[in-house]
A = this chain, B = another copy of it.
C-alpha cells in the first residue's frame, strides 16, 4: 500500500529504425489506496504505461515512484507489485493452490505452512477454496479470473496492476465481477491501476479515471467530472454511451452557424467562445429534448431516422432532412414510442451544451451543472 507517482514518463519503441511514441510524457499521482482507471482507445498506450509500472518495460524517460522510492530501473520482482493480466496468465500445469503459492515461494522466505494458510485464506475470501486443487483448464472464465486475482492478492503488494482483466468475460459475468472487484479493492485498500478500453467500466469502477489518447494524457478526473466536464473534445466523445452529439459550427456574433442549423447564443456563452472561430457544439443525447411543439430559438425541426428501443429508454436517431442519414441521437423515455419518418422537434437547451475549439479540441464551455445541484435528493 503506497502512493504511486508517474513522473513525466515516456516510452519510445524502435520499430525498424522509425520511432513509435507509445506513451508521451505522462504524469499521474495516484493516492494510497486509490482505484485509478486508465482508459482510452486501442493502441493509446495503456498497456505500455502499466507495463512500465510493472517493470516489464523500461521507461525511455521519466521516473516512477512507489511509496517514495524511485523504482524506475528495477526489475519487476524488486518492485512489490502484482499484476492481473487480460488472459489471466495462469500457469496451466499448476493447480490453483500452486498458482497462488508460486509468487510467495519465489519472492519471500515464508514457510510452506505460512504460504498455505495465506493462500487458503485468500481463496476463501474469493470463494474459490473449493477449486484449490483444480488446474486452470478445469475452471470457467470467471473462476480463472478470480484465481488470477487471488494470485495477486496473496502477494500483498503495494500496488495492483490490472490490464483489462474482465474483457474475456461475457456481459453478465463482467458486470457482476465489476462490482465484486470494486468492493474487494475497497476492502483491501490497495492502490490499484486498472486498464480498460471500455468507458462504461472506467466510469463505474474508478475513483478517478485517466483518459489517454495516442500516448498523451487527456484528463485525470472522477468519472462524473469526466462525463460532465470533459477537458477536451476527445474526452467528451470518448466518455458516455451513446456518445455526445457533435456539430461543427462557425462562431458568429450572436450565434453559431452550422451547415444544418444556426444556434443562437447568449452573451455568457459568447464570452466563453472568445476568439475561437471554429467551434464544435456538443450535446449529450439525454439532454436533447423532443418536444411537442417547437417554439423556442433552440428548437429545431427534425425527422426520426431509426429508433432503438432499449426497454427503459429509446435511442432516437434524428436527421435534419427527410430521408437523410441520422445526424444525432436523442435518448428519450422508454415509454414513448416514435416511428421512423415521424417529424419531431428537437430542443437543445443552451445550459446543456458543451463547446469546444474545433482546431485544438480544447473545451470552451461545459454544460451548466446548476440542474445537478438542484435535483440532488435530500432524504
Contact A377 B308 (CB under 8 A): no
Cross-interface CB contact of A183 among B285, B306, B376, B378, cutoff 8 Å? B306
Q: In whole angstroms, what is the CA distance A345 to B126 when docked?
A: 31
Q: In whole angstroms, what is the CA distance A240 to B171 when docked?
A: 11
Cross-interface CB contact of A312 among B171, B331, B335, cutoff 8 Å? B331
Cross-interface CB contact of A200 among B171, B223, B243, B343, cutoff 8 Å? B171
- Identify 20 residue pairs between A and B in the complex whose beta-carbon atoms are under 8 Å apart, listed by A's number: A170-B197, A172-B243, A175-B242, A179-B306, A183-B306, A204-B308, A223-B309, A223-B311, A227-B334, A240-B311, A284-B311, A284-B312, A285-B312, A286-B313, A286-B334, A292-B378, A312-B331, A335-B375, A335-B376, A337-B376
Known contacts A308-B204, A311-B203: does B224 contact A337 (CB below 8 Å)?
yes
Beyond A240-B311, A292-B377, A342-B379: 15 further Cβ-contacts under 8 Å?
A42-B170, A170-B197, A171-B198, A179-B317, A200-B310, A203-B308, A203-B311, A223-B311, A224-B311, A227-B311, A241-B311, A284-B311, A286-B312, A286-B334, A344-B377
Closest B residue, CB atoms, query A243: B172
Q: Which 7 A-B residue pairs are closest in the complex by CB-CB distance?
A: A204-B308, A286-B312, A227-B311, A335-B372, A335-B375, A240-B311, A223-B309
| A265 surroundings in chain B (CB, below 8 A) | none
| A78 surroundings in chain B (CB, below 8 A) | none
| A371 surroundings in chain B (CB, below 8 A) | 335
Contact B240 A203 (CB under 8 A): no
Determine if A93 is an interface residue (Cβ-Cβ < 8 Å). Answer: no
Determine if A326 is an interface residue (Cβ-Cβ < 8 Å). Answer: yes
Determine if A239 is an interface residue (Cβ-Cβ < 8 Å). Answer: yes
Determine if A112 is an interface residue (Cβ-Cβ < 8 Å). Answer: no
| A336 surroundings in chain B (CB, below 8 A) | 375-377
Q: In whole angstroms, what is the CA distance A224 to B292 when docked?
A: 23
Contact B224 A309 (CB under 8 A): yes
Contact A293 B227 (CB under 8 A): no
Q: In whole angstroms, what is the CA distance A342 to B377 when docked?
A: 11
